[in-house]
Amino acid sequence: MKAPKVLEHIKPAHIECSKEEIAPIVVMPGDPLRAKYIAENFLSDAKLVSDTRNMFIFTGMYKNVRVTVMGSGMGMPSMSIYAFELFYFFGVEKIVRVGTCGGLVKELNVPDLVVVTSSYTEGNFAYSYNGDPTHVAYPSIELKNTILKTAQELNYTVQTGTVMTTEQFGFYSDNEHVLSRVPKNIRVIAEEMEAFALFHIASSFDKQASCILTVVDSKFSDVFMSPEDREKSLNASITLALESIIK
């Protein structure tokens, strides 16, 4: 199914800049301050092009390739707003989400990298968005494979698998009753809150999207990455995303 129709006179309500100020490739962390960190530490000639609602958007150069980095906010509703506007109004072709997740299997440890191969949600985001009853969404095969190949080139060890995109923060809910409802034929290895919406919206526009996550906590461990480390200590996933998206 394709993207919903938008009235011709409608303009983007959450991003205020010209179409030319946003590059066709976007690296998208959840935290706008992490977007600022990426711009300041990984891009050259970075310019703040929009700060509506303090959702910072920077465009600059990475290895002579023009790249935009912006926050998505937390949860599928916030991700869906920004992903839709980027694809529909600004002509973006690729988005790579760089985010965090909680490990749900013993094999994942803090701070492992996860390249997402699919996302499961028990919610009805897809049905609300464009009438699609699916509960599983997939990244773009080409972009996902590029990330996996780039990880090998960088000598990065990455895990792959299905993540569960939840509608609440796992620590603030009865996580086990949510996990007990996952279909038996789906093995989720981690939980996060945005990937499903990104993948589904990208697919509706025939655009590319993928997701790289850093494990910041685990149901099998007391290790928990601090908010400060989440903002500034995810350099491996950021590097992997930038090196992959420019190819």
Contact 123, 76 (CB under 8 A): yes
> Does 9 map to a domain?
no
Question: Which range marks the domain in which residue 205 is found?
Answer: 19-245
| H or E stretch covering 118 | strand 113-120
The CATH number of the domain holding residue 50 is 3.40.50.1580
Contact 215, 118 (CB under 8 A): no
> Does 12 map to a domain?
no
Contact 98, 239 (CB under 8 A): no
> Does 193 map to a domain?
yes
pLDDT tier for residue 153 given thresholds of 50, 70 and 90: very high
Both tokens assigned to 190: 């981690």
Active site residue 217: yes
pTM: 0.95
Is 80 exceeded by the pLDDT of residue 230?
A: no
If one counts every other C-beta atom within 10 angstroms of the C-beta of residue 106, the result is: 10
pLDDT averaged over the chain? 94
Closest alpha carbon to 96 in 204, 211, 192:
211
**pLDDT tens figures, 166-216:** 998 777 777 788 888 999 999 999 999 999 999 999 999 999 999 999 999
**pLDDT tens figures, 35-46:** 999 999 999 999
Question: Per the structure, how many domains does the chain have?
Answer: 1
**pLDDT tens figures, 12-36:** 889 999 999 999 999 999 999 999 9
> Does 6 map to a domain?
no
Contact 11, 89 (CB under 8 A): yes
Location of structure tokens 């529909």: 88
HSE-up (13 A, CA, CB side) for residue 101: 35
Given the residues 45, 174, 217, 229, the one annotated as active site: 217
No. of helices (H) and no. of strands (E), the chain: 8, 10
